[in-house]
Amino acid sequence: MMTGQELSKARRYEEIKEREISPEKRPLFHLSARTGWMNDPNGFSFYGGEYHLFYQYYPYKPKWGPMHWGHAVSHDFVTWQYKPAVLAPDTPSDCEGCFSGSAVTLDDGRHMIMYTGVLGEDGDSGKNIQVQCLAFGDGNDYEKYSGNPVLTIADLPEEMSNYDFRDPKMNREEDGTYTCVVCGCTKDRDGRTLFFRSDNGINWKFEGVLATNGKRFGTVWECLDFFMLDGKAVLLCSPMEMLKTEKYSSGNGTLCLIGEFDKENSRLIDEYDAPIDNGIDFYATQTLLTSDGRRIMIAWMQNWDALQNEIEGFRWFGQLTLPRELSIRDGKLYQQPVRELEKYRKSRIAYKDVHVSEKTELPGIFGRTMDISLKIRSENTGYQTFEIRIAENEEFHTSIIYNRNKHEITLDRSLSGTRKAVVNTRTFITEEYGEEMNLRMILDRYSLELFVNNGEQTATITLYTDLSADRISFQADGYAVMEIESYILGMPEETEE
């Protein structure tokens, strides 16, 4: 396979630059940009015996630039190994960038990527022209299809806008055919989920509009993903320009719609909506289905509205979340860290009946790579707020504050050492948990992923506090009783192959 000049240049560059980043300056088990910039996860798939994860990538600076596709592989979703970048913007169909897309395995055994090619700006509007392109590969190298682009705006109904046509997410159906959802919108930027079918993965046909925003959730819905889960139809997407409501934050958000699939008309009849994650740093989800039937989701662990790029002392920007197992319970989306993480748990420490009022630290419970589960009950006169501080030292900390009366959780990293006036606090409504609520926190050096009530809600933030701030403390403004189980996360002594 021929590697074009742009891609060869990127591959040489990333190989050299990666060596200049010490492993301690990265998360331990969350994938970060090999060098430079990373945004959306792409092409998340199982191929040739491993999980493949590609990502939106600009190797040359920790800033968004002409998009390439970076690449990494894993056997267990936790330990990732970088591979050479696979796409660079170097053909007439993608000369301004290779935007987000997905991957499937073809019948002939090839791995196929569908991605958005950006062609440049349309004179009058100054907006990007976007088309869908293919590339075929073997898990290492990918050759762009000579027939690119395979989908253009000409394939869409009249009322669709000429812009914002991107992020194809393919699926293989049980009968061997292919389906694909692609982001589109009307001329007044109302999001549409465009639904396509193909018999061979190469020739695609527009089937209809799977879901219509109708100005309910922001404007354009980026990074769509559509699948069946536990008998329900699920659409995940990342709406732009959300309006703040009690349930949603403003700006770029995430949304899950759950309902029924009207197969005949290729339409989702949605019955339920919720943010996928309630934290600050979460966007652009993508899922895969494992051979044991688990639907696993990953996302960009940043958000356009809260970018603190160019973090002092870091040569890379952008991390992906820990992959999460999805399920539907009582019509809602539940998320759990992938079970493979359990193999990385060490040094278990557990305490029962810890009475918390004044600020309390517990022997052995500190660190920046941790898996901590808590059950919090109220006692006697009870409490109103329960606060957990992580990444704490004399100067800095990040707080998780549960307000039991208001049924709210607040994440606050304004004292985490950030020098950026971006969004640093976020509050979201929880269910009413009565006397007991449970939390699981996954800490990996520069991030926290919080799972509330067995994954009924999640909230994700990054924090770039110096690693020497590693204390964890608990306090309540009344009486709380806590049960805690804590593990240090680290590499297993012997990795089973």
Q: Which residues bind ligand FRU (CB under 6 A)?
A: 39-40, 56, 67, 99-100, 116, 166-167, 222-223, 283-284
**CB within 8 Å of 370: residues ≥ 6 apart:** 441, 442, 443, 472, 486, 487, 488, 489
Nearer to ligand FRU, 321 or 378 (CB): 321
Nearer to ligand FRU, 153 or 467 (CB): 153
Compute CA distances 222 → 115, 183, 192, 251, 434, whole Å: 13, 6, 10, 13, 37
Q: Which of helix, strand or coil describes residue 259?
A: strand
Quote the least distance from Cβ 364 to ligand FRU, whole Å.
40
Quote the least distance from Cβ 240 to ligand FRU, whole Å.
8
Is residue 48 within 8 Å of 137, Cβ to Cβ? no
Nearer to ligand FRU, 284 or 322 (CB): 284
Quote the least distance from Cβ 116 to ligand FRU, whole Å.
5
Quote the least distance from Cβ 176 to ligand FRU, whole Å.
28
Q: Which residue, among 131, 96, 97, has the nearest Cα to 114 in the 3D structure?
A: 131
Quote the least distance from Cβ 182 to ligand FRU, whole Å.
11
DSSP tag of 247 = S
Quote the least distance from Cβ 389 to ligand FRU, whole Å.
31
Nearer to ligand FRU, 221 or 261 (CB): 221
Q: Which residue has the tokens 């044991």?
A: 292
> Which residues pair with residue 324 across a beta bridge?
297, 337
How many whole angstroms separate alpha carbon 179 and alpha carbon 193?
12
Quote the least distance from Cβ 300 to ligand FRU, whole Å.
6
Nearer to ligand FRU, 29 or 64 (CB): 64
Nearer to ligand FRU, 122 or 431 (CB): 122
Measured at the alpha carbon of residue 54, what is the angle toward residues 104 and 328, in degrees to the nearest 5?
65
Is residue 245 within 8 Å of 239, Cβ to Cβ? no
Nearer to ligand FRU, 115 or 334 (CB): 115
How many whole angstroms separate alpha carbon 88 and alpha carbon 67?
7
Quote the least distance from Cβ 184 to ligand FRU, whole Å.
12
Conformational region of residue 174, where left means phi above 0, alpha means psi within -120 to 50, and beta covers everything else = alpha
Encoding tokens for residue 371? 């898996």
Pairing of strands 316-317, 36-47: parallel
Nearer to ligand FRU, 56 or 473 (CB): 56
How many whole angstroms separate alpha carbon 174 and alpha carbon 191?
28
